[in-house]
Amino acid sequence: MTSHAALRIAPIRASVSDAEWQARLDLAACYRLCEGYGMSDMIYTHITARVPDSPAHFLINPNGMLFGEITASSLLKVSVDGDVLYKPDLPYGLHPAGFTIHSAIYRARPDAMAAMHTHTVAGMAVSSLKCGLLPLTQTATRFYGRIAYHEFRGPERDPSERDALAKTIGPLNTCILRNHGMLTLGESVPEAFTAMWGLERACQAQLQAMACNTELNMPSDEVVAKSCAMYDPPNSRRYGLLEWPGLLRKLDLADSSWRD
Ligand SMILES: [Zn+2]
């Protein structure tokens, strides 16, 4: 009888730097949180983190592991040119579209340390609306005017797509991939995750409000501008830093195997 036990992956803590290990822990936690909060799409999206002490390299999921299975030692280490420097002993490799999207970011944006891509139903739906994300809720104003919209040109496997995506994103940290999904960048994994959390909820709220068949109460331009400014430094703290330890405690209470 075939065994379906959990995947066994050799621990690699002893063979990587402290900085890389910390990035692996944060990224593995982010995969588990993405799954736990209903933002995964089975194996079809990707979240990455740059290796802090080796900036031409980043960490990404093995293509085939569910997000709820990801551990710190399971993450691939790849170069921005596509070389796989480490992969666990599993029949899973590098996802071509994942590599295209994330290598585009790390090549073009030295400040980006993490990137998260989702295909949630709410994200795909808003990505398919001509109006995009409206400043309809306080949460949405965090992103309003700060979202890049990238036109859909088919799955991102063509290397030329890297330059096009980098050009679209420019200096922004939020991108709606038209007819596809969402993308957030951050100076840390917690920042990219909490941005996606807010973006996801803003999309859900907009869709539910638009589905109610009654007139929307759109805030005035003045109020939107004031609310947007609240999310600018120095008015705003860095999102993610306050939230992250609690999120890790939540994960550990349920299952701490992401730390392996
Ligand atoms: Zn995608």
CA-based radius of gyration for the chain:
18
Distance of CA 138 to the CA centre of its chain: 21
d(CA 115, CA 168): 15
Residue 111 contacts residue 187 (beta carbons within 8 Å): yes
Q: Which tokens is 243 given?
A: 């939230």
pLDDT confidence of residue 234? 72
pLDDT confidence of residue 8? 87
Pairing of strands 57-60, 114-118: unpaired
pLDDT confidence of residue 158? 75
What class has domain 17-252?
A: alpha beta
CA of 215 to the centre of ligand 1 (A): 33
CA of 126 to the centre of ligand 1 (A): 14
CA of 51 to the centre of ligand 1 (A): 22
Pairing of strands 181-186, 174-177: antiparallel
> What three-state secondary structure class fits 186?
strand
Q: Collect residues with CB below 5 Å from ion ligand 1.
A: 181
d(CA 4, CA 18): 33
CA of 45 to the centre of ligand 1 (A): 5
pLDDT in tens, 66-124: 999 999 999 999 999 999 999 999 999 999 889 999 999 999 999 999 999 999 999 99
CA of 183 to the centre of ligand 1 (A): 9
Nearest CA-CA partner of 49 in 58, 39, 40: 58
Nearest CA-CA partner of 70 in 101, 48, 54: 48
CA of 122 to the centre of ligand 1 (A): 14
CA of 151 to the centre of ligand 1 (A): 13
CA of 117 to the centre of ligand 1 (A): 7
Spell out, as residue ranges, where the chain has pLDDT lower than 50. Answer: 1-2
Residue 170 contacts residue 146 (beta carbons within 8 Å): no
